[in-house]
Chains A and B, each alone.
Chain A
């Protein structure tokens, strides 16, 4: 009796307080996840304190001090117009994090809506939506990005919108595939039998269980968005000068790659670091959220 009570209590506390703590515990267990979190926190720190970290201005040129190698005065050296690269990288953190978040949000929201409806209802609804998605995906994403930016105009906001829109199909397909696998399973049958509405089933059962692949996709995408933004800058469709966006810095630096590689190393490294952080973090979250691991 006493044991039963204790178990019941444990079960109750588990249900109320334990979920969050349990997830965090599992997250902490993974070294890579913690590494990713730490890396991301460094980025957030840089983004917040970018303008007070150094005495230099990210956008003001200084012709006398061009292309200096990294030193005590200039941690990352200076670029082709004499600006301190470390300052620019730090200011660029704000831009990159924004690009990642905004574009992924646009894609994910769109993808989830479309994918859940298609996967859950199946039949004609599925066919129509998936054909629409097929068309979407059939157009090469870079082409779509470039054309949307050409129509809307050069600039960072439009690049974010373009990236967001062109990535919706990927999310849609993933969700739909997961849902189709789950749909036939027993507890969904049970939920239906017990009279739960379609919307409720989608929201409380299907989406949480499809969450893991979605999160993996989202974090991978956030890094990819930053890379795509860099590609757009490479083609002159990204930011307006002298904005310190990493991709633009990499693009300008590539002309000097052989004699002054530090112009590319640091923005390239920053992009790699950020994408890596997002990915490690995403993996960690996915592992921690795993619903199968009840004990």
Chain B
């Protein structure tokens, strides 16, 4: 006990000394608090059609003092990545974001800007030339050259999931034309080429590091990248620890250590944040929104991530192949009640557009099927079901889906539709969805990259039936619009096409929109420099703490 007191006194003394030092000598830190409060949230959410996803940051204030004692940023996540090898598909990437970098990246507004590349040029329809930075080093000390880029690209194509996403790149064209120049071609003109380069799969890796690791799996547990943080350790199912990379080509990270803690239970994550066990909660549960937002030491950042919740109607199954039945189900659904009750207005919002507000390509005022059970009954009678019908609903068994399906069942009952709940667990549902052996389900789409055209293509093009096209729609008119999107380089024009696609989807009534969900990040109130948007996840190198 006594020694703890002693230790406390000593650290207090040190803190005071450092404070004095900071205030007097290292003056730059206090000024940088002003400078780094870059895009505060209010400014970027303009009302125009092309409004970017809302960026969010914690504004710094006058006279705040940097906390130099706290040397670790702890973030809790609800999922653990399968591997830290960027070429391997994973569903959670917070650690990857700090370790690796690509040739280009998104800024907070969704514009693509150079990162490891100094500049790039699209020489013709299908050819791209990248000039690389000359001052980049990997965590193992190796200097980055175009050989590394060539290696990365070639290697990625060997991984099936990566190759699938990057299928428009032509592997035979990859060329390290000189030490700092890299050239490649696409198979045909492809609008999302640069988006592909922002993907994790093409984060630049070093051949020597992978050889030293011995195998891809070993590399995945001992990653080496160019980013501001380097890998230290990974305790399976528990945590991943990173440390500042001092030879980073850009401005070094402000806080020395980063720890990602893996906590499944949402309430536990919240409690951990509140008790100071962590500084960032990547996924705040909807129910905890108020509590964390109004907490003594905590706050919540909310931003759009183009996550849309919807009910796909499988058009290959009778009677859903009849548009009148689909429209009837649309009229029978009171989405407003469901999302208000299940999520609440702080956490979700609604639009008739499949693309969320705040993202380019969001369509205002699309035609809509208003809640009208009588109309639903009429349509069903017209389609040959005057006494209503039974529809099976494939339901993922969890608390949120329970609530949604319970409310939906009651609503459809009022229109004469008997919803039969078919519960299934998370492992089983994917097989059923991929096979198409279901009628209706409840899904959430969160596609990368966040580009309206790309999302519409993914969700509704006939070639994606069996993977992301869950309603199994194959409509030539829709396909034509989506094909056009893929060769339209200009983002604004693509967004217009995306709006056309959405109008068509609404006409076809193949999905019932439920709502759009926001990302909710819980933060320690003393954290500064945290910025995130739907386009770009947070870079912890800019974060630091102030004394509370």
Contacts and interface: CB of A to CB of B under 8 A. Distances in A.
A17 interface: no
B406 A150 contact: no
A63 B337 contact: yes
A259 interface: yes
B341 A81 contact: yes
Contacts of A178: none
Contact of B410 (A60, A237, A251, A255): A60
A72 B181 CA distance: 77
A72 to B, nearest CB: 24
A241 B410 contact: no
Of the candidates A61, A66, A248, the one having the most CB atoms from chain B within 10 angstroms of its own CB is A61
Contacts of B409: 242
A66 B341 contact: yes
Contacts of B287: 255-256, 259
A215 B410 CA distance: 44
A81 B267 CA distance: 20
Nearest to A253: B399
B423 interface: yes
A251 B410 CA distance: 22
Nearest to A259: B291
B267 A258 contact: yes
B403 A80 contact: yes
Contact of B402 (A66, A150, A252): A252
Nearest to B423: A154
A248 to B, nearest CB: 8
B340 interface: yes
Of the candidates B288, B290, B402, the one having the most CB atoms from chain A within 10 angstroms of its own CB is B402
Interface in A54-87: 59-61, 63, 66, 80-81
Contacts of A150: 425, 427-428
A254 interface: yes
A259 B289 CA distance: 11
Contact of A237 (B267, B399, B403, B425): B425
Interface in A240-267: 240-242, 248, 251-252, 254-259
Contacts of B509: none
A236 interface: yes
A252 B287 CA distance: 11
Contacts of A257: 267
Contacts of B424: 154
Nearest to A257: B267
Contacts of B396: 236
Interface residues of A, number: 24
A241 B267 contact: no
Nearest to B411: A61
Nearest to B338: A63
A190 to B, nearest CB: 57
Contacts of A256: 287
Contacts of A236: 396-398, 423, 425
B407 interface: yes
B425 A63 contact: no
Nearest to B398: A236
A143 to B, nearest CB: 14
Contacts of A237: 397, 425
B407 A61 contact: yes
A180 to B, nearest CB: 42
B337 A258 contact: no
A241 B340 contact: no
B501 interface: no
Of the candidates B266, B398, B425, the one having the most CB atoms from chain A within 10 angstroms of its own CB is B425
Nearest to B424: A154
Contacts of B288: 258
Nearest to A154: B423
A59 to B, nearest CB: 8
Contacts of B407: 61, 63, 81
Contacts of A255: 266-267, 285, 287, 399
A59 B465 CA distance: 36
A154 B397 contact: yes
A86 to B, nearest CB: 19
Interface in B405-421: 405-407, 409-410, 421
B148 to A, nearest CB: 45
B266 A258 contact: no
B341 A241 contact: no
A3 B1 CA distance: 78
Contact of A61 (B285, B399, B410, B425): B410
Interface in B67-90: none
A219 to B, nearest CB: 31
A259 B291 CA distance: 8
Contact of B267 (A155, A252, A254): A254
A251 B402 CA distance: 11
Contacts of B421: 240-241
Interface string B423-436: 11101100000000
Contacts of B403: 80-81, 241, 252
Given A255-B267, A258-B291, A241 B285 contact: no
Nearest to A258: B291
B363 to A, nearest CB: 28
Given A154-B397, A154-B424, A241-B421, 20 more contacts: A61-B341, A61-B406, A61-B410, A63-B341, A154-B423, A154-B425, A155-B423, A236-B423, A237-B397, A237-B425, A241-B395, A252-B402, A254-B267, A255-B266, A255-B267, A255-B285, A255-B399, A256-B287, A257-B267, A258-B267
29 contacts: A59-B406, A61-B406, A61-B407, A61-B410, A63-B337, A80-B341, A81-B341, A81-B406, A150-B425, A154-B423, A154-B425, A236-B397, A236-B398, A236-B423, A236-B425, A237-B425, A240-B423, A241-B402, A241-B405, A241-B421, A248-B402, A252-B402, A254-B267, A255-B285, A255-B287, A258-B288, A258-B291, A259-B287, A259-B290
Interface of B: 266-267, 285, 287-288, 290-291, 337, 340-341, 395-399, 402-403, 405-407, 409-410, 421, 423-425, 427-428
List 4 tightest A-B contacts by C-beta distance, closest first: A236-B397, A241-B402, A255-B287, A154-B423
Interface of A: 59-61, 63, 66, 80-81, 150, 154-155, 236-237, 240-242, 248, 251-252, 254-259
